[in-house]
Amino acid sequence: MRHFPGLFITFEGIEGTGKSTHAKHLFAFLKEKRYPVLFTVEPGGTEIGNQIRSILLHPQTGEVDAVTELFLFEASRREHVLQVIQPALQIGKIVLCVRCCDSTIAYQGYGRGLSVEMIQYLNSLATNGLVPDLTLLLDIDPEEGLRRSFHHTAPQELRFEEEFMKKKDVLDSIRRGFFKIAEGEPNRFQVISTVESKDVVFERIKNSWERSLFFFYEILRGT
C-alpha cells in the first residue's frame, strides 16, 4: 500500500553515467508537460545535507573511516527525507533524486565491505521505510565513467574519483553491487546503458518513466 500520493524516482549508477544530466533533462521535460516535479540530490538537498556533502566529496577530506562515512551519508539522508522528499510526496509531487539508498549499499557495502544488512537497516531508519517507485540504474564501463566524471565534476567534489583512479577494482565491485541490488528488485529497477548518445539514452529514460506512470496509476486505481 502506498503512503504518499507522489511518485519517487531515483537515478543511480557509478561515476560518469550522466545521472545529474539526465535527471535534469527529465525534470525539464516533466515541467514542460506541467507535472508537479522536484529535482534534488544526495548527499545534500538541505542546509545540513549540503555541509555534509562538502565534507564527503571534497578531495581535501582524504580518507575517512568507512563507518564514519556511512553515518554521514545517513545523517544527510535523514534530513533530506524529512525536510524535502517526504513533504513533496505528501502533496503529490514527482520527486527526481540523484542517488539514494542504493548508492549507500553499493558504495559502503560492496565497495567498502561493510555489512549490507546493517546498511539496509540504517537506510530504512533514515527514510522511515521509504522506497523509490522507480530506480533508473545508468550504467557504463568504469574506466570510461571515470574519464567522463573528471571532465564534468566540479574540482571540489572529486574525492571519490581520485580514490577510484588509484583503486579501480573498488569501482568494479561497486558496479557489480548495483547489478546485484537491481537483480533483487527487478520491478523497481530499469537498467540503462549510457554508452550511446545522450538523446538515445534520454529516450530510454522517458520510456521507463511512461511505463512507471502507467503502473503508478494502475496501483492508485486499485487502492
DSSP letter assigned to residue 189: E
What CATH number is given to the structural domain containing 49? 3.40.50.300
The alpha-carbon radius of gyration of the chain (Å, integer) is 17
The pLDDT of 162-174, averaged and rounded, is 89
CA atoms within 13 A on the CB side of 134: 24
User: Are the C-beta atoms of 8 and 65 separated by less than 8 Å?
Assistant: no
Strand (E) or helix (H) holding 95: strand 94-98
The pLDDT of 127-134, averaged and rounded, is 96
The confidence score (pLDDT) of residue 212 equals 75
User: Are the C-beta atoms of 135 and 9 separated by less than 8 Å?
Assistant: yes
57: confidence class by pLDDT, cuts 50, 70, 90: very high
Global confidence as pTM: 0.93
The confidence score (pLDDT) of residue 1 equals 44
State the amino acid at position 120 in one-letter form: Q
Q: Is residue 210 in some structural domain? A: yes
195 grid coordinates:
554508452
217: confidence class by pLDDT, cuts 50, 70, 90: low
Domain total of the chain: 1
Q: Determine the Cα–Cα distance for residues 147 and 33; give it in Å rounded to an integer.
A: 34
Q: Is residue 2 in some structural domain? A: no
Q: Is residue 1 in some structural domain? A: no
Q: Determine the Cα–Cα distance for residues 223 and 218; give it in Å rounded to an integer.
A: 9
The confidence score (pLDDT) of residue 95 equals 97
Which structural domain, as residue segments, surrounds residue 42?
Answer: 7-222
134: confidence class by pLDDT, cuts 50, 70, 90: very high
Strand order in the sheet with 7-12: 37-41, 94-98, 7-12, 134-139, 189-193
Beta bridge partners of 97: 10, 40
